[in-house]
Structure 1
Amino acid sequence: MKLSTSFGLLLFFVASACAQKNIPNAVKAAFAEKFPGATSIKWEKEDGEFEAEFKWQQSEYSANYSMDGKWMETEKSIDKKDLPEAVTATLADQFKDYKIKEANLLSNPEMEVAYEVELKSGLKTIEVLLDASGKVIKKEKEEQDGEEEDDDDGGE
């Protein structure tokens, strides 16, 4: 059992090291231009995109890029007290049985700023995407076993 666990960990680290080395130059250049001075950068390839998790300007971020280096999205970890009042009002009204577990500020080329909030109630966890006015854009339910289910009805 220990041997298979050790082998699994070894494969994970080798795969991670390879992922760090196989980042296209266009992706690295676009990232360096958008986030100069970023530190603790960890890359992974996910769903045909490259995602970097890193620290920049004293905050934790993740950024996604297409294979050709086009910026797709950025997430910045924020404290729940930094959520806009309209967002916290919607959460208190529509998700009163849930507590905020994690909050992120999202930006991408197609939209203004949005907020991704992970909420927890007992064993249930949901992820809600809201605009700055507090309107629910998308809701993902994570069942107790970790499976996700999309609900794009805008919370209506």
Structure 2
Amino acid sequence: MKKQITLMASALTLISAATFAQDIHPSEVPSVVANNFRKEFPKASDIEWELDGDNYNVDFEIGWGTDHEIWYDAAGNMLKHEEEISKGDLPNQVTSKINSDFKDLRIDGAKKITEGSQVTYKVELENFTEEWKVIFSATGEVLHKIND
């Protein structure tokens, strides 16, 4: 019985380790991925790499703290880009939808998310009693919302 518990604990540890991204040294990033990143974002600073399954994830800043997060496949293709933006950078349709459907909440943070040719916006909305994370299309349609 003790052996079974030990095996089960070991298996769960391996599964959980494989499920989460792991920090990696920049030298462990394939050159095609690193070169594509440097070419696209030459002014990036505070760069941190992770291995996320078969993909490479990089967190970095540009300028005075504009956070970015990008996922690349092993061939160096950009899969997803999340960029922190100001509320003034949200499309008018998104702002209008927030003002009509979430009028009691204020914008606490916003990100522009690009996956291929699709652009969405993740907006954190809050007041004193509630917090929401809402994904909007570029046309202001609510695609997903979570009460945090």
Asked if structure 2 preserves the Cα contact closer than 8 Å seen for 1:107 and 1:114, the reply is yes
- Equivalenced residue count is 126
1:70 aligns with 2:77: yes
Distance 1:34 1:79 in 2: 22
RMSD of the alignment, in Å? 2.4
Percent of aligned positions that are identical: 28
2:46 partner SS: strand
Which one of 137, 144, 147 corresponds to residue 138 of structure 1?
144
For residues 75-95 of structure 1, the C-alpha deviation after alignment (integer angstroms, 9 at most, x for no partner) is 221111222221111112222
TM-score, normalized by length of structure 2? 0.70
Structure 2 residue corresponding to 1:99, chosen from 93, 106, 109:
106
Pick closer, same or farther for the CA change 1:68–1:124 going to 2, 3 Å: farther
Change (3 A) 1:121 1:63: same
Q: Which residue does the alignment assign to 1:42?
A: 48
Deviation at 1:41, TM superposition (A): 0.9
Q: How does 1:3-152 map to 2 (within 5 A)?
A: 16=23, 18-56=24-62, 59-111=66-118, 113-122=119-128, 124-139=130-145, 141-143=146-148
- How much has 1:123 moved relative to structure 2? 5.7
**TM-score, with length taken from structure 1:** 0.67
Query: Bigger radius of gyration, 1 or 2?
Result: 2
SS in 2 for 1:27: helix
Aligned equivalents of 1:19, 1:123: Cα separation in 2 = 41
Unmatched tracts of structure 1, length 5 or more: 1-14, 144-156
| Contact 1:19–1:45 (CA under 8 A) maintained in structure 2 | no
